[in-house]
Structure 1
Amino acid sequence: MNILVADHHPVFRRGLKCMMKEDKEYNFKGKIDDGSQLVTSITNLKPDILILEVDLPNSNGIGSLREIRTNFPDLKILVVSCHPEEIYAVSALKAGANGYISKTRPVKEVKKALKSIHNGETFLSDNIKEQLESKSSNKILKFKKLSTREIEVLNLLSRGKRNKEIARHLSINEKTVSTYKTRLLKKLKVDNIADLIHQSRLLQIAS
């Protein structure tokens, strides 16, 4: 299987490349470290699988994932991230990913994920499956109330981004950002932005 790695962490990329060299089933087609290179690289290299870091610089996070899915409907996409699986996995799948795995998972599980999505299956770790099925998880119950865009706004707020920066990053206007903040306050049942940011850290959305 031909694989393109889109990630801005050199150690992670090198680790994947070494892993692929050890297994003849994988063909390392190339790597990119900037979201502006995504479409061109996929078009030119024609990978079977894209390993995508959602926080790639100059990308629109989950929004970029949607765009890739629209432009390349047959491409298999495995999203990798340092963000907790219970927060981003469902959003990634809804946006078009075929699988999601945390960078904290072992190498053998990355291989399992690649094989699964190459065979047309959807991949989530057993750990996240158990958490998503748990009725008692407060994190999951709160998360399920939020849309993909609301999670993106909350994540940026937790990093200290202002409305203008969030608007620019997500390609929306500042008024829309304010609307999302109002919705988040209501859905997470807090009274101010400070409490909202605190809530986001309790949800482990902060990086």
Structure 2
Amino acid sequence: MDSDIKVVVYTSLPADSYAERALRAGALGFFNKDRDISQLAPLCQLVLQGYACFPQTTLLPLLNAPLQNKNILARLSDRELTVLRYLSEGLSNKEIADRLILSNKTISTYKTRLMEKLKVSHPEELVNFYHQDECYDGK
């Protein structure tokens, strides 16, 4: 990656689940769309000056303690998280398989793994789990 390129993730996705992924992927900042937009430019200036800017409530647990249950989505692989997001949007296994260029069987396997990891007994509960975590604001 070119050292002159500085990446700030600007998203509506929850920081508790995605900020760490952004950091691991090389981003230097994370800004959620529910924050005051007037704060985006100062954050970008800090990133350009060489600082990493991430939500404090997201990084403190990463630095000081293992992930807790409320951050369980952060423990999922990127592919599992993608499948879960598509499931939460109401897509069928076939539709997800077509989008990800995978087989229906592979999506079914991801679904089973997600149910095991998230400790839910019905596929419908995966959608509820995803939306429940998405609303968590870390406060």
Instruction: Confirm or deny a common fold (TM above 0.5).
Output: yes
Of all paired residues, the percent bearing the same amino acid is 36
Give the 3-state SS of the residue equivalent to 1:100 in structure 2: strand
Distance change (3 Å), C-alpha of 1:122 and 1:197: same
1:1-207 mapped onto 2 (5 Å cutoff): 73-74=1-2, 75-130=5-60, 132=62, 137-140=68-71, 142-204=72-134
Give the 3-state SS of the residue equivalent to 2:131 in structure 1: helix
Distance change (3 Å), C-alpha of 1:96 and 1:171: farther
Distance change (3 Å), C-alpha of 1:144 and 1:194: same
The structure in which a higher percent of residues are helix is 2
Q: What are the Cα deviations for residues 143-175 of structure 1, in whole angstroms up to 9, with x where unaligned?
A: 243112211111111110111222233343333
Consecutive unaligned residues of structure 2, counting only runs of 5 or more, are none
Residue number in structure 2 paired with 1:48? none
Give the 3-state SS of the residue equivalent to 2:7 in structure 1: strand
- CA distance in structure 1 between the partners assigned to 2:52 and 2:103 by the alignment: 34
Q: What are the Cα deviations for residues 41-61 of structure 1, in whole angstroms up to 9, with x where unaligned?
A: xxxxxxxxxxxxxxxxxxxxx
Give the 3-state SS of the residue equivalent to 2:8 in structure 1: strand
Amino acid paired to 2:93: N
Cα pair 2:86 2:96 within 8 Å, conserved: yes
Cα pair 1:89 1:100 within 8 Å, conserved: yes
Give the 3-state SS of the residue equivalent to 1:197 in structure 2: helix
User: Highest relative contact order (Cα 8 Å, sep 6+), 1 or 2?
Assistant: 2
- CA distance in structure 1 between the partners assigned to 2:97 and 2:29 by the alignment: 28
Q: TM-score, normalised by structure 1?
A: 0.55
Q: TM-score, normalised by structure 2?
A: 0.78
- CA distance in structure 1 between the partners assigned to 2:24 and 2:101 by the alignment: 20
The structure in which a higher percent of residues are strand is 1
Consecutive unaligned residues of structure 1, counting only runs of 5 or more, are 1-72
